[in-house]
Amino acid sequence: MLNNREMIAFTEDRLAQAEEIIARYPEGRQKSALLPLLHLAQEQHGWVSAEVMDYIAGKLGIEPVEVYEVATFYTMFHLEPVGKHVIEYCRTGPCCAMGGEEVYDHLKERLGVSANQTTADGLFTLKEVECLAACGWGPCFQIREQFYMHLDNAKVDQIIDELSK
C-alpha cells in the first residue's frame, strides 16, 4: 500500500522528465516549468489535486499559491477527479456550422450526461471547450492527445462503442 505522499509524487520516468524540463530554462527562471509540470502531473493522475499542486510547488521552489492561481486560470487542468476518458467537445462557431450542435446533442444523449458530468460507470467525463484549431475538420472533440474530427452521429457512436470495450 502506497502512502499518500508516494501517490502524489511523479513516477520514476516522469521525475526524470520533470528534471529535464526544469533544466531547460535559464538559472532562476524555473517557474517557467510550471505549465509543463502540471501537464505531466495530469497525464499521471488524470487530474490535478491541491496536494499535487503543493508537490509541484516544492519541486519548483515556489509558493503553493503560485501554482493554484495558474492551475485555475488555464482551462485544460482538471481540478476534480474525472472519468477514464475526458471528452473535450468543441462548441465554437465553425464547428457548429458543420452540424456540431446536433452531434453534441447526440453525444450527450448517448452518454446520458451533460457538460461537466461523468457517466455512472466512470468511463466518460464530458467537457465543453472552445475552438480547438481544427475548424475545417469539424465537428471535433479531443480525448487526451487524440483529435476526433469530421464527426457525425454514427462516428460518435462508433468511438464511444470502441472506448467502452
Question: Would you tell me which residues interact with another protein (CB under 8 A)?
Answer: 24-26, 29, 31-36, 38-39, 60, 62, 66, 69-70, 73-77, 88, 91-94, 96-98, 129-138, 142, 144-147
Q: Would you say 107 or 140 has its CB closer to another protein?
A: 140
Cβ neighbourhood burial of 51 (10 Å; 0-12, 13-18, 19+) = middle
Report the C-alpha gap between 10 and 100 in whole angstroms: 38
Q: Would you say 129 or 160 has its CB closer to another protein?
A: 129
In whole angstroms, the minimum distance from the beta carbon of 54 to another protein comes to 16
Cβ neighbourhood burial of 117 (10 Å; 0-12, 13-18, 19+) = middle
Q: Which three cell numbers stand for residue 113?
A: 450526461
In whole angstroms, the minimum distance from the beta carbon of 113 to another protein comes to 20
Q: Would you say 109 or 144 has its CB closer to another protein?
A: 144
Would residue 158 be called left, alpha or beta, if left means φ above 0 and alpha means ψ between -120 and 50 degrees? alpha
Q: Would you say 135 or 160 has its CB closer to another protein?
A: 135
